[in-house]
Structure formats: C-alpha cells, structure tokens
Homo-oligomer: A and B are copies of this chain.
C-alpha cells in the first residue's frame, strides 16, 4: 500500500526536511506533491532522483489529486486557510504551525506520548511546537511511573527554529551583517524572546510549552512554567528541565533504567566519560537525547534533566512523519 503525499510550504526549512525525511525513512509514497506560495511556483526540488515541480497552493491544484496525507509547514495563516480544504478532499492534514494546536477538535500528537488521541481527528492533526515535543518525550516515562506535580522549563533554542532567515542571521552575524529575522544580533548573544509577547508578560513560545504540555498529557492541573531563549546554535534545541514528581523514586538508577527502555529516547548520561546531550551530536537524528539526570535535593522528589533534540527533525518534520507512519501501521 502506498499513499499520495503533499508537502505544503515545501521550499521552507521544515518543508525541505519533510522531503528529506520521507526519502530517508522510505515512506510508502505513490506520488509526492509539493506546494508553496505563488512566488515559488515552478521551482523544482529533488526527491529520490526525481525533480518535482513546486505547485502554487490553491484549491484547484488540490482537488483532483486524491491526497492521503498533507504535511503542512507554511505558517499559521496558510494552515488556517488551507488545512480545511485538504481535509474536505479527504486528505489527513498534519500541521506543523501553531494554528490548530489548541483547538479542542484537533488532536495534538507526539507518537511516543499520546498516539491514542490520533483517532479523535476530524481531518486535521497538529504537530506540537518543537520545544514541546522533545520535552514531553522526556517527561512521559516519569509522568506514567511517578506522576508529575510541577515542571520548570528553561530552553536554549537553535536559530533554525526561526527558519532559513534565522539560520542566515547567525551565519551572517559572524560577518557583522545586521539580523533580518531576529530583533537583535544572535551571533555571540542570547535573546530571551521567541515569538510575540503576551499580556501576561510571557512570550507565546513560553505559553506554547505550558499549554501544549497540559493538552498532550490531558492534565489541566499540571503546574508548569517556562522561560525560552534563542542561542547561537544552528541545529538542536537544549532544555534544562526541572521536574517535581508526585511519588518518590528510590534511587537514581531507577530513572536510568526507565530511560534505557523508552522508545524514542537516547540516554546520553555517562558523566565519567563526559557523555551528555549536546546539539552538535543530536543534529541529524530523530531521537530525543536525555542526560545530566540527577536528583533535585531542593524538593522531596525532584529531578533535573538536560534534554536535546534536532528541532527541525524530531521537533518538526520527523514527528509529523512519525504520526503518519503510526496511522498507516495501525489502520
């Protein structure tokens, strides 16, 4: 069995990664369709030795293609406008923007965490925010075994999370060129500001982490706070995660054993040999790297974790494709 797949926003950073990961994972594709804005119409992108022509995103280009899966990464406005159109023609949309994530009708999915929610979809499934995905993969085994009282997130997010121009701002920043995507130079700097500021003084990125984590665990009572910052790293978000558990663990080895046996996680914690998760190592991989695991002695049952993942792969393209794979496998 193979499927007609559309990539929407094909020329962007995540769009290109969709194409690369589809090829790499040998996703069962019948025909691959690429969509972008009118500006990119006619460009060609490579997929398995074929040059595929990018089509303009408009209804008449969608309706007769019998698309099974539409992978979206074209910004919130495009998703709002076009996801329902793809759904109308019986495609299942997996959307990487924030447009649908908090919609109660739309499941927000990380396959290792809440695949059971996929069945509630009405044609649209939302991919969580990059910083949320890796966090919830790391938290899930703790949540299931001990319960979680409270989480404090502090993030160290790569520039590629801001797309091609974010990436270029860092490269060109080293040459003294002023940034175009970021409000300030990011080379040699840390910018504690991702996405817009909200009335409660948090950034939208911080509230995404808080709200999406609660939605994915179906736990409105979960206590969470977050600080998100942009760092001069190309690929790979790092997160300092402080967790207060409901039930205590006996020994830190219990936590190690838990992570050793969790799908989608690569345990990188051998401090004697200086093994811990780092962006340069995780880039190009789909696992979430977990390390620096240690008891937090400031509360009765606390843990500190250091969690790193490739923000464009597991944080975006790979997670979306894993959702599609899960659906195919469990049909």
Contact = CB atoms under 8 A, between A and B. Distances in A.
A interface bracket (residues with beta carbon within 8 Å of B): 35 or more
A242 B225 contact: yes
Given A192-B276, A234-B188, A306-B192, A299 B223 contact: yes
Nearest to A185: B280
Interface in A254-301: 271-272, 274, 276-280, 291-299
A227 interface: yes
A156 interface: yes
Nearest to A239: B154
* Copies of this chain assembled into the complex: 2
A302 interface: yes
Nearest to A278: B189
A296 B242 CA distance: 14
A47 interface: no
A197 B192 CA distance: 28
B279 A190 contact: yes
A183 interface: yes
A298 B223 contact: yes
A174 interface: yes
A311 to B, nearest CB: 13
Q: Which of A151, A188, A233 has the most CB of B within 10 A?
A: A188
Contacts of A308: 190
B238 A188 contact: no
A34 B152 CA distance: 46
A205 to B, nearest CB: 12
A208 to B, nearest CB: 15
A243 to B, nearest CB: 11
A240 interface: yes
A280 B184 contact: yes
Q: Which of A200, A201, A295 has the most CB of B within 10 A?
A: A201
16 contacts: A150-B298, A152-B298, A174-B174, A188-B232, A188-B233, A188-B234, A189-B233, A189-B279, A190-B233, A190-B308, A192-B278, A192-B291, A192-B292, A200-B294, A200-B295, A227-B292
Given A156-B229, A201-B271, A232-B233, 8 more contacts: A154-B227, A156-B190, A184-B278, A192-B291, A201-B293, A225-B297, A229-B306, A231-B231
